[in-house]
Amino acid sequence: MSPPADLEHKPPDVGQSLRLLRDQRGLSLRALADRSGLSINAINRIERGEASPTVASLHLLSTALDVPITEFFHHDDPQTTVFVKRELRVRSQHSGMDIESLGAGLRHQQLEPFLVTLPPGAGIDHEPIAHCGQEFVYCVEGEIDYRISGSIYTLSQGDSLLFEAAQPHVFRNTSRLPALLLMVFHTHQGDHNASQSHLNT
């Protein structure tokens, strides 16, 4: 049964939100490009609705504008429920990982859920990550090594981790098969550094 129409996730106008935030800060396209590392053309196409930004691009823009990533997904009426169809997920790639955002748009959102696919050898272990809040990891398929404060946890299908994310941690798929993870970051309101540290380092 389909959810009621008023519970479905209506695609937000990310470009309009980006333009509004940029104007509010008195930034030109060039200034925002310099701050974010994205090209003027890329930002202009996003603002005009001619291109859909990746998760990585949104994190670069949110950092440059000093706002949480959820600011791009605000509607005129504050959302209390977000429903995302599988085919409408925002997707990106980083460090060999395929990343899918599973939900964004609540005005005071503190949970950031992602589905992450790691081919053999993919991950982030060149420099330990540490951030505020808590982190939950569930291994949907495959096998993954997580190192937290010097301790190594090998997650196989069905295994999970929950930990205080201020502890230095890294992760990598050291097996010969792809791994699929559900990653959920819980941060303090307005702190959008958790997912950025993992997915846009």
Q: Where are the beta strands (DSSP E) in the chain?
A: 91-94, 97-101, 111-118, 123-129, 134-141, 143-148, 151-156, 160-164, 169-172, 179-186
Q: The domain spanning residue 136 has which CATH number?
A: 2.60.120.10
List helix spans (H) across 37-145. Answer: 40-47, 55-65
Q: What is the pLDDT of residue 61?
A: 92
Residue 5: pLDDT band (50, 70, 90) is very low
41 and 129 part of one domain: no
- What residue numbers bound the domain in which 60 lies? 5-73
**Residue 160 identity (one-letter amino acid):** S
Percent of the chain with pLDDT over 70: 84
| 81 domain-assigned | no
Q: Is residue 140 scored above 50 in pLDDT?
A: yes
Q: Is residue 182 scored above 50 in pLDDT?
A: yes
130 and 160 part of one domain: yes
Q: What is the pLDDT of residue 74?
A: 62
How many structural domains is the chain composed of? 2
Residue 142: pLDDT band (50, 70, 90) is very high
Kindly report the pTM of this predicted structure. Answer: 0.65
Q: Is residue 173 scored above 90 in pLDDT?
A: yes
pLDDT digits (tens, 9 = 90+) for 98-139: 999 898 777 677 888 999 999 999 998 888 988 888 999 999
- The secondary structure element, H or E, covering residue 20 is helix 14-24
98 and 195 part of one domain: yes
